Structure 1
Amino acid sequence: MSCLGIHFSLSDSEVDHLLRIGDDGRRLHYFRESIEPLYVAEHPERIAESGTAWDAMHRALAEGTLSGEGRYPLNHVVLGGTSLYAGDDFVMRLKARNQVQDVARVLPAMTHSEFHRRYRAIPTTDHAFIVNNEEFDETWRRFEGVRSFWLRAAEEGRYVLFTANGRIEPSSSL
């Protein structure tokens, strides 16, 4: 999959502004023109880049699927939450503060061996990545960064917005 994923830790006012924008296209434009460049340039500590590993990460945490299946709160680490954009060329999934707290409570218990077990259980048919040791190592490395990000977002009482740019394959749609 060629979609690049990034988590953002957002403030109340940023979320309020995003939610007040009623049109998906305008919401995406605002995000890309205002929030994303600001965070990349001035608040890199409030983002976690997962590259293309977000797909495998989500599937490992959501019992092998890219859909909303899986158990809460692990299924909210990447794709769970409220969709803020309905197009098939971009993903914007918002997690409320209470969901951020729930996710942050369970992530410290995710061990390398448990994540590896979950990763190895991903079905090999409906995605573009290869389930192998090299891909696992990259996914685990990205997961460790995402986990640290979530813990900080929860500590600061912030929202989390996951984004992925590019087209998601139809066979693995949300």
Structure 2
Amino acid sequence: MLGVHFALTADQERALLSAEGDANVGEVLEDIEENWAEDDLSASTDKAWDAIHRSLGNGSLDPDGGRYPLSHAILGGRHLHEEYYVVYVTAAEARDVNTALNQVDEGWLRRRFDAIDDPDYNGPQNDEDFSYTWQNFLGVRVFYERAANAGRAVLFTAT
């Protein structure tokens, strides 16, 4: 699954939060993805979102694993779909996440990455995989700074 973050406009946020059921959420998400034009307010994490979430949390993909606000950078937040990760973070939470991500340095993330001990994690956990994870983490950090500065809520998707 490939991960993408979007900093939602007020209209997109209203449409998403008023959608009921997976089909309606899926339609709104499809519209957001197909009509996205603000590259500086989106960030793709390819497959690195998995290792990033595990490293910022408790080593698992549990959305509640780890401590707020780092837990909300990827999978923490309000889940809007049953089959796919469609995770909503309010603008206030995005500001908190931004502040917390700016405290994370490469050494801290590497220690957390190396400590992942979940049999469900399929990544190799070597220097190359960490470098890939770190580079994608930096993209997420820049994204949250832009989203927070714009006062926008965030949507993370992995489908």
TM range, smaller chain: over 0.9
State percent identity of aligned pairs. Answer: 37
Match of 2:19 among 18, 21, 40: 21
Gaps of 5+ in 2: none
The 4+ residue runs of structure 1 with deviation greater than 3 A are: none
Could you tell me how far 1:143 is from its partner in structure 2? 0.3
Name 1:168's counterpart in structure 2: none
Match of 1:61 among 56, 68, 75: 56
Mapped pair 1:74 → 2:39: no
DSSP-derived class of the 2:35 partner: helix
Could you tell me how far 1:30 is from its partner in structure 2? 2.3
- The separation in 2 between residues aligned to 1:21 and 1:160, in whole angstroms, is 16
- The separation in 1 between residues aligned to 2:28 and 2:73, in whole angstroms, is 24
Contact kept in structure 1, 2:54 and 2:113, CA below 8 Å? yes
DSSP-derived class of the 1:69 partner: coil
What TM-score, normalized by structure 1, do the two folds share?
Answer: 0.88
Kindly provide the CA deviation profile for residues 69-118 of structure 1, in whole angstroms up to 9, marking residues without a partner as x: 1010000000000001112xx21000011110111111111001111111
Kindly provide the CA deviation profile for residues 8-29 of structure 1, in whole angstroms up to 9, marking residues without a partner as x: 0002221111111112112112
Match of 1:100 among 94, 100, 116: 94
- The separation in 2 between residues aligned to 1:105 and 1:59, in whole angstroms, is 19
Q: Which residue identity lines up with residue 148 of structure 1 in the other structure?
A: V
Mapped pair 1:48 → 2:48: no
Contact kept in structure 2, 1:124 and 1:130, CA below 8 Å? no
Name 1:127's counterpart in structure 2: 121
Count how many residue pairs are aligned between Structure 1 and Structure 2. 158
Q: Which residue identity lines up with residue 82 of structure 1 in the other structure?
A: R
- The separation in 2 between residues aligned to 1:38 and 1:156, in whole angstroms, is 19
Kindly provide the CA deviation profile for residues 13-72 of structure 1, in whole angstroms up to 9, marking residues without a partner as x: 21111111112112112211x100211xx2111110000000000000002111021010
